[in-house]
Every structure is written in C-alpha cells, then in structure tokens.
Copies of this chain bind each other. A is one copy, B any other.
Amino acid sequence: MKIGVVGLGRMGSQIARRVLGAGHELIVFNRTPDKGAPLREAGAAIATSLRDACAGRDVVITMLADDPALQAVAYAPDGLVASLPAGAIHMAMGTHGVPAIRALTKAHAQAGQTLVACPVLGRPDVAAAGQLFIIAAGPADALERCRPLLEAIGKHVFHAGMEPMGATAVKITNNFVLGCAIMAMGEAFSLVRKFGVDASLMHDVLSNGLLAAPAYKVYGRIISEERWDEVGYVARLGLKDANLALEAAEAVSVPLPSVNAYRDRLLGAIAHGDGDRDWAVMAREQARAAGL
C-alpha cells in the first residue's frame, strides 16, 4: 500500500520502520525535517509538506504527542483533512482526547475520508520489535483495510468497536487504572512506614500475591527506593492523562473518584516542585500529606 507517516518522534520512527519492513511504499513527514534522514536511508521518501505526505496515499498514520499537535496537522490548510484523497484512511496512533477524536471523525467523514483511532501500549523498544499492543476502532471495512499495517506494527490488536473514540477511551482508561495502582501503593507505603515497617517489605508482600503484576513491581520499587528522578513517565504528563480521563468521562457523564484522588496528589506534587519527576511522585506527595 501507499502509506504516509506523520510525526517521527521515538514512537513514530519505529512505526515507520515496521511499515517499511512490511514492504509498503512509504513517505514520511516531520515538522523538523532532519528526523527523517535515517528513514530515507532505509528507503522512505521524505515529504516537504503535509500535502506531499498525503497525496495519493491509501493510509496516513499520525503518531503525535497531544491534541494540539494532532489538530495542527489535521486542520492546517494543507493538512490531512484538506489533502487526503477521498476514500483514504487516517490512522491516528497517538493518545488523544475523546472530544478531539470525535471532532476529527466528523471532519474526515465530511471530506469523504475515514478516521481509524489506534493508540498503542508499549514503549519505543517494544515498537521496534513489532510487539506493541494496538487498540483499534473505526468502521469495519476500514479496519479490514488497515489489517496488514496493524499486523506489521503490533503483536496483537484489540478491536474496540466502530467508533474511533472507543479506542481512545480504552487507551485513556488503561492509563488511569495504572495511575490508581500507583496511588494505592503510595497510600500503602505511607501507612506502613508510619508503623515502622519498610516500604520495601510492603512492596514484597504486594508483588507476591494477588497483585503480582509488572506495574506493582516496577512502580513499587521506584516508590520504595524513592527513585523519583529515574523518569519513566513525567508527572506533568500523568496530570495530562488524568485530565484526558476526566474529559472523556465528562463526555459520557461518568464520575471517576479514584482518578480525582490521584490527580489531586499530582497537583500537590507539582506544587511542591516535583512536576518534572516520575509520576510516581504522587506517592511522595501522599507521604507528605501524612507528615512523612
């Protein structure tokens, strides 16, 4: 297929490589063009404008950091909505908000194009190995047409229905359930420490029982060893994700009290100067609230 990839950050570059490796004809575009150089060597064409990246494509993939970045490339005068051929598909693989995806679904439909939302679970090294989990939602025939790409990019595809924003909601939800787990550990460790028990012991107990999952192992270690500066995911992005969750939930009138609880700790952490540390600082803020 004729594919475009817009957004060549650490994730987007790996996704472009997977597409190329599966034998598709690829053109790539990035706001700062030097990001494309390694892909050119690997066989991709370099677009000098969004219009170039869209012209004659079957599918254009975007992998962008947030809603403003997505809206900028989608709604620019030569952006995806203006430049994609009728019948083409926009695969939006970033983590976006429900209102943004809902509006874009409509805009593409009015232009005779189709939006497929397919956010992913996994980091760049996982992407490089083609081992991402992909959550995909959109019209059935569009998903079917995207299948070769999805299979080239990910290990497994979860189908989240016909509405693109369904995939968005699932991805946002996955993030907030993780945030709740981190917060719960923060409450746990602050409590046992006040009884003179090491956080690391509590961590061992949690990691060996019903909660033996990577999240509890990884974040439990960060919290118990206070490794706030080994940033896997920064607190400010954790707050952004919590906001995406509350925004999505408001769109369908769902209260999320546990998200409120950890979002409040993130705000406190930022107020105390921890905004650029790992988002596990919500646990540090919980400890502060307990006088530790």
Contact = CB atoms under 8 A, between A and B. Distances in A.
Interface of A: 98, 121, 133, 135, 137, 156, 158-163, 165-166, 169-170, 173-174, 176-178, 180-181, 183-185, 187-188, 190-192, 194-197, 201-202, 204-206, 208-216, 218, 239, 243, 245, 248-250, 252-265, 267-268, 270-273, 275, 289-291
Contact of A160 (B177, B197, B243, B272): B197
A136 to B, nearest CB: 11
B268 A170 contact: no
Prevailing SS type, chain A contact patch = helix
Contacts of A170: 192, 197, 201-202, 205
Given A253-B290, A261-B261, 19 more contacts: A121-B209, A160-B201, A166-B195, A166-B197, A170-B201, A174-B202, A178-B210, A180-B258, A191-B245, A209-B214, A210-B214, A212-B214, A213-B215, A250-B267, A253-B268, A253-B291, A255-B263, A267-B290, A268-B291
A53 B133 CA distance: 56
A98 B194 CA distance: 12
Given A184-B177, A201-B170, A211-B178, A255 B262 contact: no
For the complex of A and B, the 3 pairs showing the least CB-CB separation, nearest first, are: A271-B291, A213-B213, A255-B264
B205 A211 contact: no
A167 to B, nearest CB: 8
Nearest to A174: B205
A215 B216 CA distance: 12
Nearest to A155: B208
A205 B291 contact: no
B213 A210 contact: yes
Contacts of A268: 253, 255, 289-291
A204 B187 CA distance: 27
Contacts of A181: 180-181, 184, 211
B261 A257 contact: yes
A197 B172 CA distance: 13
Contacts of A216: 213
A264 B254 CA distance: 8
B254 A194 contact: yes
Nearest to A214: B210
Given A260-B257, A270-B253, A291-B272, A248 B177 contact: no
